Amino acid sequence: MAIHEAEKTATVSNILREQKLKEKENAMELQEIENQMFIAHQKCLADADFYSAMKEAEANKMKLTPEFLELKFIEAIANNTKIFFGHKVVPDMVLDQRLLVGNFLENVSQHVHGERQMKSDDNA
């Protein structure tokens, strides 16, 4: 009778151990699926951020015209202008800003048109 009781206890403990093992395996499989879903979601977010950055860069490149650069240059000058008062102001301190803007835009225009020419040569 004691042998029968020991065998019964051993069988029950084996069944419980296998049941716990199956539960752990199922939990691991579920965790693996959740991890894959998280990774896929993160990849989608990264791809969306990359696409957004690429489109913004393309838009900024298209916006890079001599007129736009002139506007930004003039805005920068307007924001950084210093005004000097007094009878000792040196006349050389007063500059015609249009001369600066003209030279600046001429250099930028040559640079931008040069890049566009290289791109059209590459595409041909």
pLDDT digits (tens, 9 = 90+) for 71-93: 888 888 778 766 666 666 665 55
CA distance 18 to 80: 77
Position 1 scores a pLDDT of 78
Position 32 scores a pLDDT of 97
pTM above 0.85, yes or no: no
End-to-end CA distance of the chain: 95
Burial grade of 73 (CB within 10 A; 0-12, 13-18, 19 or more): middle
Position 75 scores a pLDDT of 86
Q: Find, among 61, 67, 37, 50, the residue nearest to 116 by Cα.
A: 61
Positions in the chain whose pLDDT score sits under 50: none
CA distance 73 to 107: 13
- Cα 9 to Cα 5, 16, 19, 26, 57: the distances in Å are 6, 11, 15, 26, 71
Position 107 scores a pLDDT of 63
Q: What is the residue extent of each domain of the chain?
A: 1-59, 64-124
Position 21 scores a pLDDT of 96
